[in-house]
Amino acid sequence: MKLYEIILIINPFLKENKIFKIINLLEKYILHKKGLILYKNFWGLKKFQYDIKKNKNGYYFLIEIKIFPKYIINIKENIKNEENILRYLIIKLNKYAIKYLHNKRNINKY
């Protein structure tokens, strides 16, 4: 299994329950494929530096997962098929990134 970080930007005109429905579908898929959700954080509504699909802002969501690489392609396809996701980014994390993120979160707790 490999570690990945996924950032989603979701349509700002959706109601909160629809936003979390999109997120829950992604989480269910990850868990169905025997993946693990290590960390998730809803950043809320953020303003863009430039318009994305004619929107000036969007809801940001971060999730870190551990999953087999063969399922990442399916995750990308599911995200692309969801019309309310304006942009996404999937990053494969290496051991240095994992250590950095872990230390950063522990520092922010105090």
pLDDT tens-place string over residues 23-68: 999 999 999 999 999 889 899 899 998 888 888 999 999 999 999 9
Which H or E run contains 80?
A: helix 72-81
How is residue 108 written in tokens?
């922010």
Place of tokens 């990053």: 91
pTM over 0.85: no
Hey, what domains does the chain have and what are their CATH numbers? 2-108 (3.30.70.60)
The packing angle between helices 72-81 and 16-32, to 10°, is 160
How confident is the model over 2-23, as a mean pLDDT? Answer: 92
